[in-house]
Amino acid sequence: MESALGFALRMVLMTNLQHRLAGRPSGRRAALLFAAGLVFTPVLSIAADGDGKNFAWGTQVTRDNVAFEFQEAKYANLVVDNSSDSPKQYKGNFVLLQVNITNTVDQPLFARFQPVFRLVDASGALYEPHEALTRLVNPAEEGQTPFGEPLAAGQTMRRRVLFSVPKQSYRAVVIVPRSAEKADDGVVTYSGPYFFYDLAPLRSSLLAKNAK
């Protein structure tokens, strides 16, 4: 069996328009609010070999010289784009992750080797982030590495990752790619170390709601 330091994660990207929010946000700033929204189903499937370790919330993790510190995991169901004079609203059931990522080596961490985040539910279904809204919730900020740019040696960046998913418990699965290949059929294969991370704040939020 392959160790946690080497695995292949096969991701099948499926297009389904009913799972996408209307419009593509183009602004730079967003605020997360709470309101009623829509339910989205998995848009990704997984076939993987490996022995990814599980880590509890609050644990700092390092894989392939990339250090992770999870800051936040919460539900939201409204994203507001305030970048123009006419704010846009994107409604849905969302999970927001905020993670500090540190490049611990003396060379840049280029975008193609930066961590890949997914959610996995109790049944093993895998969920990919909402690409457009993830960009929206990572506006250009002073002192932060711009989205999609290399992370300089020894530097830390804050990344927010937004998922359109049903409101339930999840773990995060984090991949640090050593390579990524896209086949003619659109299948992307990432190879590199990975781990699972418990998202305890989501579970606590659900328990608190059910207790009311």
CATH 2.60.40.1240 for domain 8-211, yes or no, is: yes
- Other residues' Cβ atoms within 10 Å of the Cβ of residue 107: 11
- Check residues 25 and 34 and name the one with the higher pLDDT: 25
Q: What average pLDDT does range 75-97 have in this prediction?
A: 84
User: Are 90 and 25 in contact, with CB atoms under 8 Å apart?
Assistant: yes
pLDDT digits (tens, 9 = 90+) for 200-211: 999 999 887 776
Nearest alpha carbon to residue 115 among 184, 48, 63: 63
Query: Which pLDDT belongs to residue 45?
Result: 35
pLDDT digits (tens, 9 = 90+) for 38-47: 233 333 333 3
CB within 8 A of 204, min separation 6: which ones? none
User: Are 176 and 194 in contact, with CB atoms under 8 Å apart?
Assistant: yes
pLDDT digits (tens, 9 = 90+) for 37-72: 223 333 333 333 345 899 999 999 999 899 999 999
Strand partners, 98: 72, 160
User: Are 88 and 21 in contact, with CB atoms under 8 Å apart?
Assistant: no
